[in-house]
Amino acid sequence: MSRIGKEPIPLPAGIKVELKGTHVKVTGGKGALERDIRPEVEIKQKDNLLVLSPKGNSKRVMAFWGLTRTLINNMVIGVDKGFEKKLVVEGVGYRGKVSGSTLVLNVGYSNPVEFKLPEGISADIDKDNIITVGGIDKELVGQVAARIRQIRKPEPYKGKGIRYIDEHIVRKAGKTGAAA
């Protein structure tokens, strides 16, 4: 029995869910998200709850049950509140700015790196060089944040680079000098 799958998904006020076979569309104040789900999982709407049930009891079906519940719950949260990830740009002279739908980063390369933001994703940089990536699709927000971090990963000696705000970089000692 899936501990996650058996939990019903509460629908906040203003969220509409359309079910057509294995296709789910969630619409809310921030936008709409669509997804095709596995045929091994059945969805029913009861009042302001979505209830998922498995079609079978194999280990594979139970895994899809919990996964599907989590994916649909993320869709509901996304169209209601949205998701965001925060990254820190660290290093002397390292900075970034947003111009339209392009993120321009000066992170130690000879030329600035221009990162085109996908549709549905917004980015903002404050004075402390903290990049806030936001959107309604949790998967896309996480993927964009990971791709921005990939531009200049934090290095272990001084910690320069782009890292998540809650990420801890393990530091190395470096050279100790001439030990004679």
- Render pLDDT for 21-72 as a digit per residue (tens, 0 to 9): 899 999 999 999 999 999 999 999 998 999 999 998 888 999 899 999 999 9
Say whether both 159 and 95 belong to one domain. Answer: yes
Average pLDDT over residues 157-173: 92
Say whether both 72 and 141 belong to one domain. Answer: no
Say whether both 90 and 159 belong to one domain. Answer: yes
Domain that holds residue 41: 9-80
Domain at 140, CATH number: 3.90.930.12
Say whether both 99 and 63 belong to one domain. Answer: no
Q: What is the pLDDT of residues 82-131, one digit of tens each?
A: 999 999 999 999 999 999 999 999 999 999 999 999 999 999 999 999 99
Report the range out of 44-53, 77-86, 170-179 with the highest average pLDDT: 77-86
Say whether both 57 and 129 belong to one domain. Answer: no
Give the end of a domain, one of 80, 107, 125. 80
Q: What is the pLDDT of residues 129-143, one digit of tens each?
A: 999 999 999 999 999
The number of domains in the chain is: 2
Say whether both 87 and 157 belong to one domain. Answer: yes
Q: What is the pLDDT of residue 73?
A: 95
H helix or E strand, kind and range, residue 179: none
147 DSSP β-pair partners: none
Say whether both 139 and 127 belong to one domain. Answer: yes
Say whether both 130 and 142 belong to one domain. Answer: yes
Beta strands in 21-90 (DSSP E): 23-28, 31-36, 41-46, 49-54, 83-90
Say whether both 71 and 115 belong to one domain. Answer: no
Cβ neighbours, 10 Å, residue 95: 14
Residues 6+ apart with CB under 8 A from 130: 86, 87, 88, 89, 165
Say whether both 32 and 96 belong to one domain. Answer: no
Q: Tell me the C-alpha distance between 21 and 107, whole Å.
A: 48
User: What are residue 60's phi and psi, to 5 degrees?
Assistant: -65, -45
Q: How confident is the model at residue 3 (pLDDT cuts 50, 70, 90)?
A: confident
Q: How confident is the model at residue 177 (pLDDT cuts 50, 70, 90)?
A: low
Say whether both 54 and 126 belong to one domain. Answer: no
Q: How confident is the model at residue 1 (pLDDT cuts 50, 70, 90)?
A: low
